Structure 1
Amino acid sequence: MYDMTGSIVTYNTEREDLKKVIGSFLNTDLNIKLWISDNSPSEKIKNEIKELIQEIEEEYNIKNINDKIEYIFNNSNRGYGAGHNSVIEKFGNEMSKYHLILNPDIYFEIGTLEKLFKYMEEHPKIGQIMPKVKYPNGEIQYLCKLIPTPLNLIFRRFFPLKKIKEKMDYDYEMKWSGYDKIMEVPILSGCFMFFRTEKLVSLKGFDERFFMYLEDYDLSRRMNEISETVYYPYAEIVHNHAKESYKSPKMTKIHIKSAIKYFNKWGWVFDKKRRETNKKIKENFIKSEKTR
């Protein structure tokens, strides 16, 4: 059994981004294996992998690197979740203790995986964990979220009044927490999803009805229903987040379609579990603050 497996979904991914994320993941003493699940229209990335592996091996001094990477060409783009599912479907509970789903635009220092691994080993009730996420300039990305309402995902995106938007985000993005404490969070970002493998397999991975966007919300919410989902600020990663849906009309349409699918699945106005979970998260945080 591996200590950890990982998967990265690529689609015409920049070479340097891929080099950084692969090097970050493999630069550990943990027993690991990484899958590159390629949704690109051609096998261009496959042709670059051999050269990349050699560079990573030399730069990071990683031994037996060829045994630690496997490439899958999906021959179609069925979406982000489907790309990761093509990896998850290959193994059962005996493949690894933990599985890490990574965006290609992530990188982190040596020791980061070990911190998260150790904390998960010490807390068996946790099914998913997320570290502190920063922009390349060092600013925090507010990626801990309560379960969203339609207003959170649609109103905040298009409403022009800045003060109202900021007030909504302050609550929705849990900014009142300070992002400096370990806490349970119902929605953790899809850029870095560190799962207990047996829990991830029991949920059968992502819901492939979501081509892109909201598939991480859906999976994180389902994970929170069967285990604890936790933010751990004592490990950090860098996410070179581009917010493509804010720049591209095409990606905006995909984002809106995913939001509609999400609320059709979980409920628009009448979502009792959303209300109960968000209330519980806030109450538990207040209790933990009083006992500090």
Structure 2
Amino acid sequence: MNFTREPRSEAEGLSISVVVYRPDLALLQSTLESIATACAVVRATRPSFALSLSLVDNGGLPDVAPSLQALRALGIGCEIIRGHGNVGYGRGHNLAIEHSPYSFHLVLNPDIELDAEALANAVDFLCAHPDAGLLTPRIGDEAGDLQYLCRRYPTLVDLFVRGFLPARARRVFARRLARYEMRDLINEHDIVWDPPIVSGCFMLFRTIVLKKLAGFDPRYFLYFEDYDLSLRAHEVTRVVYTPVVRVLHHGGGAARKGSAHIRMFASSAYKFFHRFGWKLL
């Protein structure tokens, strides 16, 4: 596949979208504080680089005015997009993506803490590697251990074992899960080009690529929208895992969030496999 460089039409800068629905206030504040710190590092090395944040309120946004004031004090444009109701994760991000005027756009979860150097390192990497259109970072858990959130194409068995079996039962499938989670390639040191699927908790795009893909597929309400977008991204650009960009993820699986999330997970899985192909084993 040939990846061609397209002329830039966006201004030099980074826009960030965070979609929230009844978020944990402490986690959201930590996310916003880490954005402020990471943006300050970018601004120190790139004084003319534009920075903006869109907080998309799908419902239940608490008062985060002090956090937004701290961002604005750093010269970071902030907006709250609200009034549309709970339209789902992907459609929420699309509301911000379609209006992004800058060269890069970051899709970010409200349960992610950015390392202070994360955004500066990510922008530096993309500027140095023009073929890369989607970047995924080293994602750690609360204990500091590496989360293996890059994926090979899933089977139904992989998803069931990974999402719903208790830890003791998952040990039986350890080799299978290790392959699905790309443990043979993903580590703390090596850049990995073109992992098939990357996590939606942090997806840094060239905006021109993201708009060419028309953002997330709105047919997914929650779950698998990142799998879908990852696979489509390979059609137009290169995807890269780079561990020099580091973040902390507080998220959990669907099975630990109750029956409503299990139903949404199953519905989205059906849409994903119906579009890209069913694979049992």
Report SS of the residue matched to 1:176.
coil
- Verify the 8 A CA contact 1:37 1:71 in the aligned structure 2: yes
Aligned to 1:34: 53
Aligned to 1:245: 255
Per the TM alignment, residue 153 of structure 1 is displaced from its structure 2 partner at its CA by: 1.7
% identity of equivalent residues: 33
Q: Note the alpha carbon deviations across 1:52-82, whole angstroms, 9 max, x for none.
A: 334x35xxx94335xx101110431111001
Per the TM alignment, residue 178 of structure 1 is displaced from its structure 2 partner at its CA by: 4.6
CA distance in 1, matches of 2:120, 2:242: 13
Note closer, same or farther for the CA distance 1:186–1:253 as it changes in structure 2 (3 Å cut): same
Bigger mean CA offset, 139-148 vs 241-250: 241-250
Per the TM alignment, residue 154 of structure 1 is displaced from its structure 2 partner at its CA by: 3.1
CA distance in 2, matches of 1:176, 1:195: 25
Aligned to 1:254: 264
How is 1:228-239 mapped onto 2 (pairs within 5 angstroms)? 228-239=238-249
CA distance in 1, matches of 2:16, 2:135: 14
Note closer, same or farther for the CA distance 1:135–1:150 as it changes in structure 2 (3 Å cut): same
How is 1:136-215 mapped onto 2 (pairs within 5 angstroms)? 136-154=142-160, 156-158=162-164, 161-179=169-187, 180-184=189-193, 185-215=195-225
CA distance in 1, matches of 2:139, 2:52: 23
Per the TM alignment, residue 196 of structure 1 is displaced from its structure 2 partner at its CA by: 0.7
How is 1:1-292 mapped onto 2 (pairs within 5 angstroms)? 1-27=11-37, 28=39, 29=43, 30-40=49-59, 44-45=61-62, 48-54=63-69, 56=70, 62-65=73-76, 68-91=77-100, 95-154=101-160, 156-158=162-164, 161-179=169-187, 180-184=189-193, 185-269=195-279
- Verify the 8 A CA contact 2:36 2:74 in the aligned structure 1: no
Aligned to 1:286: none
Aligned to 2:6: none
Note closer, same or farther for the CA distance 1:134–1:269 as it changes in structure 2 (3 Å cut): closer
CA distance in 2, matches of 1:107, 1:156: 24
Per the TM alignment, residue 158 of structure 1 is displaced from its structure 2 partner at its CA by: 4.8
- Verify the 8 A CA contact 1:189 1:216 in the aligned structure 2: yes
CA distance in 2, matches of 1:162, 1:70: 43
Report SS of the residue matched to 2:92.
helix
Note closer, same or farther for the CA distance 1:64–1:178 as it changes in structure 2 (3 Å cut): closer
Per the TM alignment, residue 155 of structure 1 is displaced from its structure 2 partner at its CA by: 5.0
TM-score norm. by structure 1 comes to: 0.82
TM-score norm. by structure 2 comes to: 0.85
Per the TM alignment, residue 206 of structure 1 is displaced from its structure 2 partner at its CA by: 0.3
Paired positions, count:
257
Q: Which has the higher helix share?
A: 1
Per the TM alignment, residue 162 of structure 1 is displaced from its structure 2 partner at its CA by: 3.1
Note closer, same or farther for the CA distance 1:156–1:36 as it changes in structure 2 (3 Å cut): closer
Note closer, same or farther for the CA distance 1:3–1:147 as it changes in structure 2 (3 Å cut): same
CA distance in 2, matches of 1:178, 1:244: 23
- Verify the 8 A CA contact 1:99 1:194 in the aligned structure 2: yes
Structure 1 residues without counterparts, runs of 5 or longer = 271-292
Note closer, same or farther for the CA distance 1:256–1:6 as it changes in structure 2 (3 Å cut): same
Per the TM alignment, residue 36 of structure 1 is displaced from its structure 2 partner at its CA by: 0.5
Amino acid in structure 1 at the alignment position of 2:65:
K
Q: Note the alpha carbon deviations across 1:86-127, whole angstroms, 9 max, x for none.
A: 111224xxx111100000001123221010101101111111
Aligned to 1:275: none
